Structure 1
């Protein structure tokens, strides 16, 4: 299969491309920089230059492929206050892919998120899975529902919901940010009693699920890419504190913004999730270390 991948040189993409190549697929990745292009070439992938705003490029690459995996998202803009702009760009990209793949029966796999899906209870694949193509919808979950609606247009679409903690060596996301905050503050904090639970997955297990979705997911599938159902953030903070030699301590909700910065919102959310239906549907069996075990391996603390 010839697969077009956006975000192919990113955190998950850099694990997915070798996974696809090893399985015998031919990969072309979207690259917006020379560095990304070089990384893709080194991984054995072809290169298509462009950005998420180049809708004609996206549509042409999709039409020339046997399937698309859409991992890219404008995280740099989202985390600097432009989340709506990033979400709008993502929706436009999905619309372009949908138009290019309509009626083909080819697979389209979208990366989405678990955080905030069903706060305070264990989220299941059926939660928030109603297809919708309504215009003007403005959240990532709305874009996921748009993707599911493409099944009615002859696209084998699926959505892979990722946990906030896609961990592993080289991670620069939420877990690495929590380590950085603890190092800077001299305290490894958690909000309130720290009972908030986050689902988690190792990046290599996540990459494997994306391949399974591309190859086998039925049209309109919602998949949960979490191995850990919910790791209490106090447990995460305690490992970080012990590894850094700083205390682990509660931070009052009113002080969270001052302590955690942009992480204040996410660390206050209780967001456990089940992946039972995903495992049954695609025989996905996560085999890599869980979040706490991965933290204990020490690579998150290797640099000052």
Structure 2
């Protein structure tokens, strides 16, 4: 790994910044795709270098991929425009993959792409699922389209590996937990759907970042790996923890009401069962998640300060 260069999209983001920091600590050089001076400065503060461009800078993507030893694709086109249909996100992502793999073809270099454990449906008996489980017949989005397209690029002589992130990537006071806490603070209450008994999958951002680096060393070409920690946390437990740290009431909301008030996507997200096993990542990558579990992090960890910042001052 000494003096090997990683080119990364999303290198200054929530997960990417942790990968960047850990990679540099291991001796890699990191070059991040940067859209702004603010991103430039963040990458420099992490010890990385940068190249200016975005997901439409195909020449930059192609050139930097050809120069690098490893490419990690983390940037999500949806985050840049939440109003666009997901079919457009898939189209944009596939073109990014085309540009990157044009730079990598025939090299057998490593190309890591990002997916999610929600691409598979829940087990009918409420057990854990794995990377070969049936795909979800009514998915929240078509993320599997991006994953499938990227993995097919292995035919170009590239070592393509997909990392499937848990629905709840948490830690360091960020991501979805912070977003849901913000919604609750604005509304003056938090609500889960129906009885809140559905179980979901979590992973700490630091553990996820370490898994990306392990996949560089040990991942098998053409394979997907679930990056999951806990698979038995219920929506009710999550929302009650957020309510406790925010000093806000927590209630149950019928599915129809939840869709009307939260929107269909969010209501389905927090009421969808997802129990994705990490057995493959542990066995093949040697990955061992070790950070705080999500409820502990909400009640006693990084989200305590988030809660303090969100609480409205007393009248």
Shared fold (TM-score, shorter chain, > 0.5) = yes
Query: Structure 2: how far apart are the matches of 1:156 and 1:128?
Result: 24
- Once the 2 structures are TM-superposed, how far is the Cα of residue 116 of structure 1 from its aligned partner? 4.5
Q: Write the mapping of 1:256-295 to structure 2, written as runs, cut at 5 A.
A: 256-261=258-263, 263-295=266-298
Q: Which moves more between the two structures, 263-272 or 197-206?
A: 263-272
Query: Structure 2: how far apart are the matches of 1:175 and 1:267?
Result: 11
Partner of 1:299: 305
Tell me whether 1:189 sits opposite 2:191 in the alignment: yes
Q: Which moves more between the two structures, 259-268 or 278-287?
A: 259-268
Query: Structure 1: how far apart are the matches of 2:188 and 2:279?
Result: 39
Q: TM-score, normalised by structure 1?
A: 0.92
Tell me whether 1:168 sits opposite 2:183 in the alignment: no
- Once the 2 structures are TM-superposed, how far is the Cα of residue 184 of structure 1 from its aligned partner? 2.2
Given the alignment, which residue of 215, 223, 234 partners 1:232? 234
Q: Write the mapping of 1:139-218 to structure 2, written as runs, cut at 5 A.
A: 139-171=142-174, 173-218=175-220
Tell me whether 1:89 sits opposite 2:61 in the alignment: no
SS in 1 for 2:106: coil
Preserved CA contact (<8 Å) 1:128 1:141: no
Query: Structure 1: how far apart are the matches of 2:244 and 2:144?
Result: 36
Partner of 2:132: 126
Preserved CA contact (<8 Å) 1:199 1:226: yes
| Stretches of structure 1 lacking an aligned partner (at least 5 in a row) | 130-137
Q: TM-score, normalised by structure 2?
A: 0.88
Partner of 2:83: 80
SS in 2 for 1:51: coil
RMSD: 1.8
Preserved CA contact (<8 Å) 1:185 1:259: no
| Stretches of structure 2 lacking an aligned partner (at least 5 in a row) | 136-140, 311-315
Q: Deviations over 1:186-230 (max 9, x none)?
A: 222110110122211111101000111122212112111111124
Partner of 2:73: 70
Aligned pairs, how many?
A: 295
Q: Write the mapping of 1:83-122 to structure 2, written as runs, cut at 5 A.
A: 83-120=86-123, 121=126, 122=128
SS in 2 for 1:3: strand
SS in 2 for 1:69: strand
Q: Which moves more between the two structures, 7-16 or 230-239?
A: 230-239
